[in-house]
Structure 1
């Protein structure tokens, strides 16, 4: 089994990275492979609402001038998806929003191709707005008919400078609990013994 973790922060080694890594470490302890894919900082256009994906139905976005189809392929190949985002003006980063809109449209055009996968939001925040970002990611998972594992609190870590999120003990424990719950869910969905 595999989980792909999309790092929606333009800081490849920032708090979002450390938050995702914390979840993936626990998944690794449970025998589930994980990979962090850098999404933030990439040049990704938003959805153009061209509806070409409904015409082609090939599991790909018609826009071919960025890396979105690579990210969609990563999502399709995984059993579980983590989307990590910093909070920008009380919501997800631009790159995360582009991923949600374009991958979501392609998924809908292709028979809800993400249906049945597990998906969880992993949010890093300096101060406020985390629940809006958390909700935006989970709305995507919900409309995609994915299964959302939860934790002992919302999957949010607090920190300012890169790595500061690791000082947020409640956040770290929340991410670890998410990892354990996601592992259990994946094993239930995909039939391995718990």
Structure 2
């Protein structure tokens, strides 16, 4: 099985990356294929509301000039999608928010392409705003008919300087438990995921 982690932080080797790697490490131990991609700090735009994805229904965004479609294709292949963000002004990072807007909409336009996949949010925070970021990411998972695993706490780690989050013993333990929960859930749902009941338009 394949788990994709998307790092919404522009900071290389930052706390968001550390947390995501901790989750992926547990999945590596369970013989999952894992990959970490970076969306933070790249050139990615938000949704233009052009509705081309509904017209073409080819699992692509009409904006071809940035890295979105490449990342989205990995999200389509993934059994589990883990989205990580730092907290900026008590909100999700702009680059990850752009990915969420477009990926959620393109998937919705293409027969709920994320339905039945596992989705997990991971947040790096200095002090406040983490639950808002956590909720923002999970909202996309929930409206995409994805399955969100639990852990020992909300999936957040506290730290400011690079690597400081490693000192958050509870936060790091939570990431490892999250990885194990994703692994268990993936194994449990794999035989029946293809039969996940997809819901159509909101008025249906």
TM (norm. structure 1) is 0.97
Deviation per CA, 1:127-149: give whole Å up to 9, x if none: 10000000000000000000001
Q: For 1:65-104, list aligned pairs within 5 A.
A: 65-104=65-104
**CA distance in structure 2 between the partners assigned to 1:11 and 1:150 by the alignment:** 27
Q: State how far apart, in whole Å, the 1-side matches of 2:31 and 2:191 are.
A: 14
Distance in 2 between the 1:24 and 1:33 partners?
A: 9
- d(CA) in 2 for partners of 1:12 and 1:63? 26
Q: How many residues align?
A: 192
**Cα distance in 2 for residues equivalent to 1:134 and 1:33:** 25
The separation in 2 between residues aligned to 1:166 and 1:26, in whole angstroms, is 16
Correspondence 1:161 to 2:161: yes
Q: Aligned residue for 1:34?
A: 34
Assess if the C-alpha contact under 8 Å between 1:12 and 1:40 holds in 2: no
Give the equivalent residue in structure 2 for 1:126.
126
Please give the secondary structure, in 2, of the residue aligned with 1:87. strand
- Tell me what 2:136 maps to: 136
Per-residue CA deviations over 1:50-106 (Å, capped at 9, x if unaligned) read: 000000000000011101001110100110000000001111100110011001110
- 2:3 maps to 3
CA distance in 1 between partners of 2:12 and 2:33 (Å): 20
Structure 1 portions without partners, runs of 5+: none
- Structure 2 unaligned spans of 5+: 193-204
Q: Distance in 2 between matches of 1:191 and 1:167?
A: 39
Runs of 4+ that moved beyond 4 A: none
| CA distances 1:135-173 after superposition (whole Å, capped 9, x unpaired) | 000000000000001101000000001111111000001
Give the Cα–Cα distance (whole angstroms) in 2 for the partners of residues 132 and 48 of structure 1: 24
Residue 197 (structure 2) aligns with: none
1:49 equivalent to 2:21? Answer: no
Instruction: Point out the more displaced range, 29-38 or 135-144.
Output: 29-38
Contact 1:3 1:80 in 2 (8 A): yes
What residue number does 1:115 align with? 115
